[in-house]
C-alpha cells in the first residue's frame, strides 16, 4: 500500500483550499484510486477525500437539461426515476458496472476522471452529447466530454481542478437511447467492447439525429462521426444500422490485449453498433430490425 | 505519513482510532479494532467481496475505502449481526443450508445478502445472483448460497 | 443405508459453521500473537536470471526492520520439495520464475516491512527464459535446471497400439490444449511461526499436510523433527494448492532469524506467482475405432508444463497418464507423458491431479469420433464404457464399482433429453453436451498412504476425534465425526473433531486424492472398535467383573443385569487417573497383492476408482461468441453419502470450478511480460456465471472396502465439466473447441461482410 497523507474536504471551499495547499489529488468513491494505491501507482502523495461533499451529489432537471453532480454514485443513478426516463443508456451502463459493492461507492465523476477507455458510462454520456463542468478556485469551465478525455487515463484537468458535474439535454421526442456491453464474464467484468447509441426521429419517422459512441476500442471512449453521418436523415432499420456499423469501424482503432484480440474487437464492435441502434430505435417506439 | 484519528461507529459502538493515513477500512477493522470477520482475498482490488461490510447502509468493499473516508460513518460488520447471541436469519440459513464450506467468503457474502434483503425483502433468484456477483466463492458453486438467501428471505417474511 | 443408521447419510450441520457465519473462525491471519513481527518477501522481477549480488544494508537500516534473511542465512537444507528437492527456500544464485522468493524482510510493522522490501538491492543478470513445454523440449532451449528440462518421462502401454491402429477403420488425430489455472481458494497462503525459548518452533499453517510441513521445515531449518510443532488454523480452501510448504518454511526462517514470532501472509498476486497451479498441457491424441464404434486403439503424447519447480508434477504426470483412456475399454493404449520444466510459475497438485487435462482431450475426441461415425455420442459411450471385470490399460483390475457406469449413463440420457427440450431464446442458439469421467482414489501403488487417527473419551462422555489430516473446508471433520458417532452409537452432537496439531494428533496423511473420508473413516471405525474394547477392559477392572460379562451399547456399559452405566463415569475416572480412554488406528490404502500389476513406475497403478457424468446445456450468442451455461446436471457415484449436503457441496463447487476451466481461467503471460496474477484479469466464475441451481444426482454403488461403502467425491466433480461444456457448444454451434478456456472469438460466427 502506497504511502500517502490524507485529508478530508467537507465543502467545495475546503476542497479548493486543500488542493492548493497540499498539491494533492482528489478521490471520490476510491474504487479506482484505492486499487492504484495498493499497487503503488496512485499519481499523488497527498489524497484529498471529496466523497462527503454533499454539494456535488445530486441529480437535477432544468427544462430539457439534466445535470448530475460528480459525486453521484451508480447506486444513486439506478435509484433515479428521472435518469431512468431520460437516459436508459446511462442506466444500462450503471447496471453493468462491477458489482453492488462497486456501484455503491463508484461515482460518475470518478469514471470520467479515471478516463479508462473501457469506462462504462463514457459511451452513453458521449452519445448523449454530455458536457462536463470543471471547477477550481479560479473558476469554472464547461467542455464537451469528448474534449475532457485525452487518452488512456488522461484528461484535460489542470492541477487544482475537479469535475463538478455532468449535464446533457434530453433529445426531442420520439427518441431513445441504449447501451450494450460485451465482456468476458457475465458477473462483474470490464468491457471488451461497449457501444451506446441515441436516436431522435422526425415526424416522418426518419432519423433526425443519430449518435453512436464506443468504448474499449480506442485510446479513449469515442463518438463515431462516420456512423452518425450515415444515420442522419435515413430511415431507421437493419440496412441503415448495418451501414452505420460499417462506417463506425473507420473511427476506432482497437488493440489486442489479455481480454480480446483487435480483430475480435472490430467484429464485435460492428455487431454491437447494430444492436445498440436497434435498442435505441425500439426505445424510441420503433420496431427492432434484424 | 501523518497519523490520522478516525471515529467509526462499528455495530452501533463508536470506536476512535489513531492510525496510518493509508490504512483501509478493512485493515482498520482488522489491525486496529481486532475485528477479523472481514477478509482480504484479492489484495485490494475490489474483485472478491470477502471484505464486504455495510457502510451507512450500503454494501462496500472495505479494502477500497480509506479509513479516513469512513470517519463518522456507521459500519456494520459480521460480528454485529448476531444480536444477543441469536443468529441473524441469514446466518442461520447459511448454516442450515450447507452454504458454508471453507468459510472465508462467508462473512462478506452474508453482508452482501443482508444489504440486498434490507432493500428488497423478496428477491428473485436472479436478483440474489446479482447481489452476490461481487462475492467470489470457490467452494460452493453458489447453489447453496443462493438457496440460503432465498430461505432467509422466506424466514424473515414470516417474522414480519 | 441411511434408514438403519442414525447419523451417516444425514445432513448434519458442520460444527464450524457457527464460527464461520459470525466471523469468529480464526484463520492464520486472524490471530495476532503478542510481540508478533511481520514478514514480507522480496520476489524476483525476472523470469530467469542469475543473482549477482544481494545488498540488504539499506533495508536493515530502515527503522523498524528487524532482519533480512537470504539464502546465505538458511541453516539447513537450502532446497526442498515434496518429491524432488529442486526448489530453494530462498533463491540460491539464480531465479527461475517471476515472483520467486529471494529474501525475507522481517519488521515491526507492515509499513516498515514494505519500506524494507523496496530497498533490498538485488543485482540480476537476466537469462533466456522458456514458457512452453513443447518449446522447452527443443534442443537448444534455455535450460531451467542443470539436468535438462525433462523432469519425468512416462511411457506406459497396454496391448499393442500399432496392431490396434491396423484394426481401426477410422483414426482421428487431434491436439488439445489446457491452461494453467489457479486453485483459487479464497484464503491466500499464510503462516505464523513462533520461536520458543527452548529452541523449538511452533508454526501455524493453512495447509493440507501439516506432518509433511513439519518434515520440510525441520530440514530447511536444520532442526530435529520433534523441535518443530505444526498447527493447523482454520483453512480457507485448498484444492491441492496448499500441498505446499513454501510459505510455512519462510515463516519458520523468519522466526528463527529474529528469535521471535513472525507472520507471513501472501497477497493474491504472490499467491498466483509463487504457489502451485494446475499444470497446463498440450495433448497429442490419436484414436482408432471400428466402423461400428468399437474403440480399438489410443495413443497419446502429453507435454505437461510443471514450471520452474517440479512440486508434485511427476505424480500428476503419472495420474494423467493413467487417466488418458477415461472411462472406456480400449484394448490397445500407449501413453507417453513428459513433465517439463519451464520458467513459468510452478504447477503442482490441484483438485483432479492430471485427470481434468486428460479427460478434456478424451471426452472431446469421443464426441468427435461419434460425429465422424455418424453415431450418437451417447450410444458410442454405451458401447465402450468399462465394465466390472475389465482391466485398465495399466493392468489394474476393475471390480463391481464399474457397475455404476450404466446407471450414470441412464441418468445422463434422461438429463440430456430434458435439457434438449428447452428452447433457445431469441437471438441465441442452445446446445446440450455431456461427458463421463473416472477418477482414482489414493496416492498410487507403492506410495506410502496411511492414515492414523485417534478417538478419546472426554471425562464428560463425549468423544474427541484427533483427525490427523486437516479439514480444508470440504467437511472432512464432519464426516469423521459422523462416522465416529455412528460407530459408537452416540449422537453426532457428542463428537467433536480437533484441528491438527503435530504435537497432539496422530499422522492422518495428506488431505488429498479423493480418499479422505474413505481412509479416515476406515481408521476411525477401526479405532472405535478398539476404543470399546479399551473401555470394557477398564470397566471390568473397576467393577471387578470379567470383561466378557460386559457389553457396550450407545454410550453406556451394559452390566449382566441389563443395568447400564454411562461411559462418562468411567471416562472421568480414567481421566482423573491420567489414563484417558483412547484408541488409535492406522488404515493403509489397500492394493491387493495378487491383482496389482508390478511392472509400472512408483505410484502406478491406482487401484480404486469412482465414476461420474455431467450434462451441460449452453446458450450461445452466435454473433458475439459468448457462452452461458444455463443448466448443469452432475451425476456422481459416491458409494455412500455420509453427509448429503456435504456431497452436494462437493459437486456444486467442483462444477463451478469446471465452468471456470472451460470458459474463463488461464494464468497466462501478457504482452508486457507479466503474468495474469489477480482476480481482475483472472476471472473466477461469479454467482451469475453458474446456473442458479447445479443439479446433483447422487448414485450410490457401495465400495466394499469403504466405511459404510464410501467412495471419494472430492475431485471427480470438476473433471467432466469442461468437456461437457465444449461438447454442448459444439452441439449448439458446430464449432469444436480444442483449446480451453473457450474464447468468444473462437465461437463467434465470422461476420458477414455486413
Ligand atoms: C471491482 C471493480 C469493478 C469495476 N467495474 C467497472 C466497470 O464494470 N465499469 C467501469 O466503468 N468501471 C469499473 N470499475 C472502475 C470504477 O469503479 C469506476 O471507474 C468508478 O466510477 C470510479 O469512481 P470513484 O468515485 O470510485 O473514483 P476514485 O477511485 O475516487 O477516483 C478515480 C480517479 O478519478 C479522480 N477523480 C474522482 N472524482 C473526481 C472528481 N470529481 N474530479 C476530479 N477528479 C476526480 C481521482 O483523482 C482518481 O484519479 C470497477 C472498479 C472495481 C474496483
- CA distance readout (Å), A233 to A178, A229, C316: 20, 9, 65
Mean pLDDT, residues C48-56 taken together: 98
Residue-wise pLDDT tens digits, C621-650: 999 999 999 999 999 999 999 889 999 999
Residues 6+ apart with CB under 8 A from C426: none
- The band of C2, judged by pLDDT with boundaries at 50, 70 and 90, is very low
pLDDT grade, residue C206 (50/70/90)? very high
Would you place residue A147 in the very low, low, confident or very high pLDDT band (cuts 50, 70, 90)?
very high
pLDDT for the residue A238:
95
Around C304, how many Cα atoms within 13 Å sit in the side-chain half-sphere?
Answer: 38
- Whether A287 contacts chain C with CB within 8 A: no
Band (B160; pLDDT cuts 50, 70, 90): low
Average pLDDT of chain C to the nearest whole number: 96
Cβ–Cβ under 8 Å, residues C14 and C178: no
Cβ contact (<8 Å) for A100 and B134? yes
Task: Give pLDDT tens digits for A224-258.
Answer: 999 999 999 999 999 999 999 999 999 999 999 99
Which residue CA neighbors atom 51 of ligand 1 most closely?
A: A31
pTM for the whole thing? 0.97
pLDDT 10s digits, A179-233: 999 999 999 999 999 999 999 999 999 999 999 999 999 999 999 999 999 999 9
Predicted pLDDT at A288: 54
Q: Considering chain A, tell me which residue range(s) the CATH 3.30.390.50 domain(s) occupy.
A: 175-283
Contact between A224 and A247 (Cβ < 8 Å): yes
The residue with greater pLDDT, C752 or C116, is C116
For B61, C37, C406, C413, the CA distances from C410, given in Å and listed in that order, are 46, 59, 6, 5
Mean pLDDT of chain B: 97
- The residue whose CB lies within 8 Å of the most ligand 1 atoms, and thus the one to mutate among A28, A47, A77, is A28
- Mean pLDDT for C733-743 is 97
Chains in contact with B, where contact means 3 or more Cβ–Cβ distances below 8 Å, are A, C
**Which chains have 3 or more CB–CB distances shorter than 8 Å to chain A?**
B, C
Check if B46 has its Cβ closer than 6 Å to any atom of ligand 1. yes
| Separation of alpha carbons C254 and B160, rounded Å | 55
Q: Cα of A106 to ligand 1 centre, how many Å?
A: 5
C-alpha distance from C731 to closest chain A C-alpha (Å): 21
Distance in Å, CA A117 to ligand 1 centroid: 12
Looking at domain C450-588, its CATH architecture is: 2-Layer Sandwich (3.30)
- Binding site membership of A124 for ligand 1 (Cβ less than 6 Å): no
For domain A5-49, give its CATH number from 2.40.10, 3.40.50, 3.30.43, 1.10.3470: 3.30.43
Pick the CATH number of A175-283 from 3.40.50.2000, 3.30.465.10, 3.90.230.10, 3.30.390.50: 3.30.390.50
| Residue that is written with C-alpha cell 444500422 in the block | A241
- Whether A260 lines ligand 1, by a CB cut-off of 6 Å, is no
Write down the pLDDT at residue C1. 40
Are B103 and B36 in contact, with CB atoms under 8 Å apart?
Answer: no
- The pLDDT tens digits for C597-622 are 999 999 999 999 999 999 999 999 99
Q: Is the pLDDT of residue A290 over 60?
A: no
The answer to whether C21 contacts B110, with C-beta atoms less than 8 Å apart, is: yes
pLDDT tens track for C421-440: 999 999 999 999 999 999 99
Task: Determine how β-strand A154-155 pairs with β-strand A149-151.
Answer: antiparallel
Q: Which of C475, C651, C678 sits opposite B101 (nearest CB)?
A: C475
Is residue C48 pLDDT above 70, yes or no? yes
Which of B10, B63, B98 should be substituted to probe chain C, the one whose Cβ sees the most C Cβ atoms within 10 Å?
B98
Taking 70 as the threshold, does the pLDDT of residue C753 lie above it?
Answer: no
The pLDDT, as a whole number, for residue C9 is: 85
Strands (E), B23-82: 52-55, 58-61, 74-76
- Which class in CATH covers the domain with range C32-127+193-262? alpha beta
* pLDDT higher than threshold 80 for residue C348: yes
pLDDT at B83 over 90: no
pLDDT single digits (tens) C251-301: 999 999 999 999 999 999 999 999 999 999 999 999 999 999 999 999 999
Subunit contact C111:B20, Cβ cutoff 8 A: yes
Domain pair C281-444+596-751 / C450-588, same fold: yes
Q: Chain C window 31-50: which residues touch B at a Cβ cutoff of 8 Å? A: 32
CATH architecture of A58-169: 2-Layer Sandwich (3.30)
Residue of chain A minimizing CA distance to B4: A6
Query: Per-residue pLDDT averaged across A160-172, rounded?
Result: 96
What is the residue extent of each domain of chain C? Answer: 32-127+193-262, 281-444+596-751, 450-588
A30 and chain B in contact, CB less than 8 A:
yes
CB contact under 8 A, A30 and B64: yes
Q: Please, which residues 36-65 of chain B have a Cβ atom closer than 8 Å to chain A?
A: 43-47, 49, 52, 55, 58-61, 63-65
Whole-complex ipTM: 0.98
The predicted pLDDT at position C513 comes to 78
Identify the band that residue C750 occupies on the pLDDT scale cut at 50, 70 and 90. Answer: low
Cα distance between residue A197 and residue C114, in whole Å? 47
Whether A27 is in the pocket of ligand 1, judged by its Cβ within 6 Å, is yes
| Closest residue by CA, ligand 1 atom 38 | A110
Q: Where in chain A is the domain with CATH 3.30.465.10?
A: 58-169
- A208 φ, ψ (degrees, to nearest 5): -75, -45
Q: Percent helix, strand and coil across chain A, each rounded to 5?
A: 35, 25, 35
CA atoms within 13 A on the CB side of A120: 26
Give the residue on A whose Cα is nearest the Cα of B65.
A30
Domain range C281-444+596-751, its CATH number among 3.40.50.2300, 3.90.245.10, 3.90.1640.30, 3.30.365.10: 3.30.365.10
Query: What whole-number distance in Å separates Cα of residue C174 and Cα of residue C167?
Result: 19
- Return the SS3 of C23: coil
Confidence band for C396, pLDDT divided at 50, 70 and 90: very high
Cα–Cα distance measured from residue A94 to residue A91, given in angstroms and rounded to the nearest whole number: 5
pLDDT of residue B158: 78
Give contacts of C473 with chain B, Cβ < 8 Å: 101-104, 139
Q: What is the pLDDT of residue C474?
A: 83
Given a cut of 60, is residue C752 above it in pLDDT?
no
Q: Which of residues 176-235 of C touch B (CB under 8 A)?
A: 183-188, 234-235
* Interface membership of C506 toward B (CB under 8 Å): no
Domains belonging to chain B, first-starting first, are 4-80 (3.10.20.30), 89-159 (1.10.150.120)
Enclosing H/E stretch for A13: helix A12-22
The separation between CA B135 and the C-alpha centre of its own chain, rounded to angstroms, equals: 10
Over residues A33-39, the mean pLDDT reads: 97
Do the Cβ atoms of C64 and C301 come closer than 8 Å? no
Note the pLDDT tens digit of each residue in C661-720.
999 999 999 999 999 999 999 999 999 999 989 999 999 999 999 899 999 889 999 999
What residues contact C148, with CB distance under 8 A and at least 6 apart? Answer: none
Q: Average pLDDT, stretch C560-578?
A: 96
Q: What is the mean pLDDT of residues C3-20?
A: 86
The pLDDT of residue C514: 78
pLDDT-derived band at A123, boundaries 50, 70, 90: very high
Amino acid at each position: 500500500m502506497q504511502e500517502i497523507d490524507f485529508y478530508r474536504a467537507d465543502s467545495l471551499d475546503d476542497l479548493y483550499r486543500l488542493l492548493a495547499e497540499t498539491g494533492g489529488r482528489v478521490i471520490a468513491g476510491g474504487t479506482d484510486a484505492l486499487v492504484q494505491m495498493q499497487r503503488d501507482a496512485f499519481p499523488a502523495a497527498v489524497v484529498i477525500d471529496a466523497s462527503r461533499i454533499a454539494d456535488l451529489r445530486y441529480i437535477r432537471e432544468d427544462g430539457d437539461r439534466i445535470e448530475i453532480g460528480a459525486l453521484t454514485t451508480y447506486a444513486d443513478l439506478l435509484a433515479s426515476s428521472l435518469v431512468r426516463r431520460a437516459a436508459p443508456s446511462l442506466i444500462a451502463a450503471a447496471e453493468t458496472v462491477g458489482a453492488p459493492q462497486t456501484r455503491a461507492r463508484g461515482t460518475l465523476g470518478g469514471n470520467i476522471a479515471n478516463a479508462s477507455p473501457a469506462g462504462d458510462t463514457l459511451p452513453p454520456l458521449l452519445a448523449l452529447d454530455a458536457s462536463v463542468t470543471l471547477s477550481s478556485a479560479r473558476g469554472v469551465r464547461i467542455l464537451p466530454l469528448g474534449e475532457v478525455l485525452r487518452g488512456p487515463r488522461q484528461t484535460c484537468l489542470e492541477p487544482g481542478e475537479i469535475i463538478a458535474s455532468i449535464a446533457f439535454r434530453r433529445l426531442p421526442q420520439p427518441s431513445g437511447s441504449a447501451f450494450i456491453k460485451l465482456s468476458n464474464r457475465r458477473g462483474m467484468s470490464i468491457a471488451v467492447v461497449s457501444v451506446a447509441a441515441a436516436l431522435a426521429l422526425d415526424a416522418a419517422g426518419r432519423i433526425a439525429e443519430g449518435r453512436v459512441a464506443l468504448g474499449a476500442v480506442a485510446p479513449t471512449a469515442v463518438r463515431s462521426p462516420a456512423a452518425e453521418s450515415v444515420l442522419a436523415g435515413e430511415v431507421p432499420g437493419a440496412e441503415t444500422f448495418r451501414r452505420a456499423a460499417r462506417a463506425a469501424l473507420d473511427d476506432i482503432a482497437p488493440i489486442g490485449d489479455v481480454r480480446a484480440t483487435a480483430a475480435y474487437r472490430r467484429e464485435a464492435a460492428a455487431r454491437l453498433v447494430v444492436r445498440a441502434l436497434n435498442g435505441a430505435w425500439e426505445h424510441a417506439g420503433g420496431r427492432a430490425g434484424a | 505519513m501523518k497519523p490520522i484519528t478516525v471515529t467509526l461507529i462499528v455495530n452501533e459502538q463508536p470506536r476512535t482510532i489513531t492510525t496510518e493515513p493509508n490504512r483501509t477500512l478493512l485493515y482498520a477493522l482488522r489491525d486496529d479494532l481486532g475485528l477479523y470477520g472481514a477478509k482480504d482475498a484479492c489484495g485490494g482490488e475490489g474483485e472478491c467481496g470477502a471484505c464486504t461490510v455495510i457502510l451507512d447502509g450500503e454494501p462496500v468493499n472495505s479494502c477500497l475505502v480509506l479509513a479516513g473516508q469512513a470517519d463518522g460513518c456507521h459500519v456494520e460488520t459480521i460480528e454485529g449481526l448476531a444480536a444477543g447471541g441469536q443468529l441473524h436469519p441469514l446466518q442461520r440459513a447459511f448454516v442450515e443450508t450447507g452454504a458454508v464450506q471453507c468459510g472465508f467468503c462467508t462473512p462478506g457474502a452474508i453482508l452482501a445478502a443482508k444489504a440486498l434483503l434490507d432493500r428488497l425483502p423478496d428477491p428473485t433468484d436472479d436478483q440474489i445472483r446479482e447481489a452476490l456477483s461481487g462475492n467470489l466463492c470457490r467452494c460452493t458453486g453458489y447453489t447453496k448460497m443462493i438457496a440460503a438467501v432465498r430461505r432467509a428471505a422466506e424466514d424473515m417474511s414470516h417474522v414480519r | 443405508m441411511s434408514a438403519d443408521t442414525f447419523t451417516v447419510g444425514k445432513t448434519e450441520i458442520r460444527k464450524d459453521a457457527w464460527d464461520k457465519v459470525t466471523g469468529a473462525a480464526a484463520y492464520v491471519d486472524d490471530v495476532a500473537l503478542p510481540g508478533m513481527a511481520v514478514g514480507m518477501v522480496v520476489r524476483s522481477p525476472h523470469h530467469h536470471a542469475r543473482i549477482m549480488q544481494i545488498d540488504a544494508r539499506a533495508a536493515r537500516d530502515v527503522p523498524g526492520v528487524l532482519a533480512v534473511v537470504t539464502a546465505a542465512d538458511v541453516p539447513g537444507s537450502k532446497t526442498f520439495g515434496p518429491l524432488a528437492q529442486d526448489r530453494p527456500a530462498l533463491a540460491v544464485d539464480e531465479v527461475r520464475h517471476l515472483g520467486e522468493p529471494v529474501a525475507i524482510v522481517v519488521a515491526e510493522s507492515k509499513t516498515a516491512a514494505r519500506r524494507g522490501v523496496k530497498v533490498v538491492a538485488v543485482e540480476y543478470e537476466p537469462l533466456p527464459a522458456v514458457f512452453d513445454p513443447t518449446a522447452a523440449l527443443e534442443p537448444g532451449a534455455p535450460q531451467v535446471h542443470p539436468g535438462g528440462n525433462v523432469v519425468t518421462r512416462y511411457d506406459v502401454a497396454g496391448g499393442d497400439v500399432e496392431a490396434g491402429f491396423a484394426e481401426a477403420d477410422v483414426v482421428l488425430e487431434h491436439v488439445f490444449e489446457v491452461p494453467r489455472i489457479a486453485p483459487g481458494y479464497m484464503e491466500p497462503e499464510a503462516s505464523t511461526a513462533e520461536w520458543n525459548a527452548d529452541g523449538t518452533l511452533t508454526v501455524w499453517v493453512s495447509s493440507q499436510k501439516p506432518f509433511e510441513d513439519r518434515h520440510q521445515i525441520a530440514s530447511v531449518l536444520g532442526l530435529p523433527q520433534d523441535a518443530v510443532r505444526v498447527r493447523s488454523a482454520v483453512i480457507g480452501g485448498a484444492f491441492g494448492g496448499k500441498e505446499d510448504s513454501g510459505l510455512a518454511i519462510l515463516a519458520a526462517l523468519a522466526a528463527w532469524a529474529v528469535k521471535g514470532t513472525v507472520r507471513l501472509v501472501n497477497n493474491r498476486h504472490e499467491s498466483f506467482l509463487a504457489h502451485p497451479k494446475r499444470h497446463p498441457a498440450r495433448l497429442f491424441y490419436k484414436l482408432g475405432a471400428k466402423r461400428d464404434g468399437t474403440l480399438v486403439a489410443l495413443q497419446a503424447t502429453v507435454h505437461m508444463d510443471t514450471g520452474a519447480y517440479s512440486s508434485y508434477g511427476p505424480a500428476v504426470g503419472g495420474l494423467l497418464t493413467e487417466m488418458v483412456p477415461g472411462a472406456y475399454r480400449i484394448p490397445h493404449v500407449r501413453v507417453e507423458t513428459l513433465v517439463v520444466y519451464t520458467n513459468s510459475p510452478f504447477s503442482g497438485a490441484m483438485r483432479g491431479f492430471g485427470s481434468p487435462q486428460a479427460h478434456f482431450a478424451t471426452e472431446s475426441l469421443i464426441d468427435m469420433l461419434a460425429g465422424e461415425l455418424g453415431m450418437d455420442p451417447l450410444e458410442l459411450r454405451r458401447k465402450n464404457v468399462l465394465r466390472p471385470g475389465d482391466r485398465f490399460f495399466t493392468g489394474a483390475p476393475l471390480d463391481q464399482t464399474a457397475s455404476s457406469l450404466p446407471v450414470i449413463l441412464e441418468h445422463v440420457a434422461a438429463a440430456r433429453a430434458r435439457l434438449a427440450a428447452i428452447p433457445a431464446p431469441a437471438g441465441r442458439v442452445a446446445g446440450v453436451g455431456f461427458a463421463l469421467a473416472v477418477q482414482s482414489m489414493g496416492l498410487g501403488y507403492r506410495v506410502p498412504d496411511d492414515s492414523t487417527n485417534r478417538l478419546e473419551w472426554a471425562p464428560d462422555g463425549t468423544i474427541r476425534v484427533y483427525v490427523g489430516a486437516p479439514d480444508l473446508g470440504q467437511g472432512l471433520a464432519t464426516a469423521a465425526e459422523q462416522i465416529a458417532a455412528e460407530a459408537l452409537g452416540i449422537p453426532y452432537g457428542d463428537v467433536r473433531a480437533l484441528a491438527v496439531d503435530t504435537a497432539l494428533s496422530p499422522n492422518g496423511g495428506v488431505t488429498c486424492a479423493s480418499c479422505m473420508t474413505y481412509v479416515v473413516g476406515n481408521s476411525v471405525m477401526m479405532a472405535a472398535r478398539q476404543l470399546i474394547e479399551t473401555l470394557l477392559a477398564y470397566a471390568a477392572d473397576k467393577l471387578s467383573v470379567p470383561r466378557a460379562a460386559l457389553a457396550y451399547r450407545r454410550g453406556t456399559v451394559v452390566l449382566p443385569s441389563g443395568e447400564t452405566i454411562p461411559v462418562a463415569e468411567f471416562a472421568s475416572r480414567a481421566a482423573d487417573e491420567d489414563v484417558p480412554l483412547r484408541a488409535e488406528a492406522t488404515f493403509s490404502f489397500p492394493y491387493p497383492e495378487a491383482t496389482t500389476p508390478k511392472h509400472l513406475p512408483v505410484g502406478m497403478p491406482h487401484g480404486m476408482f469412482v465414476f461420474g457424468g455431467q450434462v451441460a446445456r449452453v446458450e450461445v450468442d452466435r454473433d458475439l461468441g459468448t457462452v452461458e451455461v444455463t443448466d448443469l446436471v452432475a451425476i456422481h457415484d459416491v458409494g455412500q453419502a455420509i453427509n448429503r449436503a456435504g456431497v452436494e457441496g462437493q459437486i456444486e463447487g467442483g462444477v463451478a470450478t469446471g465452468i471456470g476451466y472451460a470458459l474463463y481461467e488461464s494464468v497466462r503471460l501478457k504482452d508486457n511480460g507479466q503474468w495474469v496474477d489477480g482476480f481482475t484479469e483472472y476471472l473466477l466464475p461469479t454467482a451469475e456465471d453458474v446456473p442458479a441451481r447445479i443439479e446433483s444426482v447422487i448414485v450410490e454403488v457401495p465400495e466394499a472396502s469403504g466405511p459404510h461403502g464410501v467412495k471419494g467425491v472430492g475431485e471427480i466433480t470438476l473433471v467432466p465439466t469442461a468437456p461437457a461444456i465444449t461438447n454442448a457448444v459444439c452441439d449448439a454451434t458446430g464449432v469444436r473447441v480444442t483449446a480451453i478456456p473457450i474464447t468468444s472469438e473462437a465461437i463467434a460466427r465470422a461476420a458477414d461482410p455486413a
